[in-house]
Amino acid sequence: MRLYPAIDIKGGKCVRLKQGKFNEQTIYSDAPYEIAMKWANYGASYIHVVDLDGALDGIWTNKEAIKRIVESVDVPVQTGGGIRSIRDIEERLNLGISRVIIGTLAVKNPVFVREAVQDFGSDRIVVGIDAKDGMVAINGWEEVSVISAIELCKQMKSYDVKTIVYTDISKDGMLVGPNINYTKYLVDETGLDIIASGGVSSINDLKDVEQINAEGAIIGKALYANKINLKEAISIFEK
């Protein structure tokens, strides 16, 4: 199982939100690239970067901060937040990003995902599915759609998407453990590579994620709150 240390960027700074609420944030660093270098030095094989401003307004205001991250580490970086066009994807891939995560547009314009996979390949395109009570949330989690996470997963699979980042919003930033039951349901029902996100708080949570055959787990607040030692976790799960 792969571990994805997370770096959430807002206003050029590394922050964490509580349940995706933009007015409940903690700033951890003014230099996100330094955090990326720290995780890479601990042995991270992939880094997960979220452009929170982009997710909310669709504008790539944190381009320089993300560019600095890519330039500072030798491990692949995946990023999401604010992907609204094929050009947005091209810009990020040209910057050296390895995988681009499509969120809101997968709901609003699903055919866009099919086009993106055809243009760039399923290894470069990931779909981010963020859900409240099983229903997909969009626009920086500010709005809940009428499509369920399982429906969207199956639709994305039909477009040759391989990898899904599934986040339970109620768990995110709360250190209460991920939604294992629903994540397992997605893994079992779709056969897709599901990356569990939201709520990971301990090594035991990671063991639970591993047992349901998820492809990986994103670790955010638990790293910043020193609940999980990344180096130790990598030695256990990335054999």
- Residues marked as catalytic: 8, 130
CB 93, CB 120: distance < 8 Å = yes
Given a contact cutoff of 8 angstroms between Cβ atoms, the answer to whether 197 and 183 are in contact is no
Please name the residues in contact with 106: beta carbons below 8 A apart, sequence gap of 6 or more. 112, 113, 127, 128, 129, 152, 156
Cα gap 43→193, rounded to integer Å:
22
Query: Cα-flanking dihedrals φ and ψ of residue 57, to 5°?
Result: -115, -5
Instruction: Return the SS3 of 154.
Output: helix
The distance of Cα 200 from the centroid of its chain, to the nearest Å, equals 13
Is residue 134 helix, strand or coil? coil
Mind giving me the DSSP string for 11-74? TTEEEEEETTEEEEEEEEES-HHHHHHHHHHTT-S-EEEEEHHHHHHS--TTHHHHHHHHHH-S
Say which amino acid occupies 101: I
Q: In residues, how long is the chain?
A: 239
